[in-house]
Copies of this chain bind each other. A is one copy, B any other.
């Protein structure tokens, strides 16, 4: 049976078209509303005559389920009527927390996929990203979670701040990173001062860009680890992410004596959508 899964993030619309025993992954820039962009992407696949179920996660920003709750609950999927008659659109709600106020939109998908793959696993998932998420799961439910904007602050500083010229390139000094993580964890309040010191250090001491980049990243991740300590200290921990950023979080955690399992975010995201679709289909919706 053909069906389509969609993760509707703040930056990207990611689409998986399932049918004929194969899956096609598509990606577009996020837009508001998302439906026209989605339809133009999936148009070539809507030739079957049958109505195609489309599961969308992250687009409905009004409906949230308070934790503790399972990351995705097919019974709470909302069928949206109207629009293109070739598709049956279902919105999957996000998760919310009141104190402190927090929200989980599309990241419910990899969490659900991880739980589907490891049903007996209790512990904490860390999802490094522009907005990183720390998610405590137990008995198949999300017990608690917290979002940190460290990645977005890092991007803003790297790309749009007065520091951007001294941070250019891809070089990386691992020792400078370790020191910055450790400094930021013990004296997080010093970060705003240490940032300008990156600029002054490049003027006064020809500090290489790889040192400045690693120090900046180390400061941001170190501050986050200091605040997220209740999530990772003495916990069963898995990182869900990709590429260099996941490696930096793993290195920072190893510096604290914490070894985390690593898990590819695309794999578990697709698996989360699959689990939601299976549950929806089995419920007879």
Contacts and interface: CB of A to CB of B under 8 A. Distances in A.
A103 B197 CA distance: 8
Interface in A177-198: 184-185, 187-197
A22 interface: no
A152 to B, nearest CB: 6
A37 interface: no
A150 interface: yes
A96 B204 contact: yes
Contacts of A39: none
Given A153-B153, A156-B157, A157-B156, A223 B192 contact: yes
Contact of A103 (B146, B189, B194, B200): B200
A282 B93 CA distance: 75
6 contacts: A131-B162, A147-B197, A149-B192, A152-B161, A189-B227, A192-B224
Given A98-B204, A187-B227, 16 more contacts: A10-B162, A96-B204, A101-B204, A102-B197, A102-B200, A103-B199, A147-B196, A149-B162, A149-B193, A153-B156, A153-B161, A156-B156, A156-B161, A188-B188, A192-B220, A193-B227
A261 interface: no
A199 to B, nearest CB: 7
A85 interface: no
Contacts of A223: 188-189, 191-192
Interface of A: 10, 61, 64, 96-98, 100-103, 131, 146-150, 152-153, 156-157, 160-162, 184-185, 187-197, 199-201, 203-205, 207, 220, 223-224, 226-228
Contacts of A61: 203
Most B-side CB within 10 Å, residue of A103, A157, A192, A196: A192
Which residue of A97, A103, A191, A227 has the most chain B CB atoms within 10 A of its CB atom? A191
A103 B193 contact: no
Interface-central residue, A103, A193, A200, by most chain B CB under 10 Å? A193
A171 to B, nearest CB: 19
A276 B204 CA distance: 25
A148 B147 CA distance: 25
